[in-house]
Amino acid sequence: MASMLRKITAEDRREAADALDDLKATLAYAGAQLPSPGIDWNCASATGIVLIDLGAAPTSVVRQIVDVLRLGVRAQREQANQQAWYPAIGSTILLTTDGGTPLPAKVVGANGKLISVRLESWIPS
């Protein structure tokens, strides 16, 4: 039974090892380190569920990790709140030449990657 379970959980065990490596590398980059993380291989061979043991950590380390997580969550929320701005079709926008000359233009199309405009008037200098 144990060898069959080992075969079934092989990918889960590899994924757990990769996840733990990623966690340790990310925390190290942020200047934090868990003192004794590991993978509970015994649980995996008995239940088929692979558990990552984060180990015991002093309060100072837990606070460092919380700070890292808060920064990540904050950055993720800020990124989600930043929506791209696209002018409405039919609206007039003001473009400028390299020399600073204003060029009024009418928006004739807009999608997630491209804004099409038609110059209202332009007199080359």
- Residue pLDDT, tens place only, 35-86: 999 998 888 778 888 999 998 888 888 899 999 899 988 988 888 777 667 7
| Average pLDDT, integer, range 98-117 | 83
Cα–Cα distance, 114 to 111 (Å, whole number): 6
- H or E segment and range at residue 64: helix 59-81
Q: Token pair for residue 4?
A: 């069959």
Residue 124 has what pLDDT?
60
Does this model's pTM top 0.75? My answer is no
Residue 52 has what pLDDT?
92
The overall average pLDDT reported for the chain is 84
Residue 97 has what pLDDT?
82
Residue 102 has what pLDDT?
84
| Average pLDDT, integer, range 2-11 | 79
Residue 21 has what pLDDT?
92
Q: Which residue has the higher pLDDT, 114 or 28?
A: 28
The partner residues of 71 in beta bridges, in order of sequence, read none
What sign has the CA pseudo-torsion 91, 92, 93, 98? positive
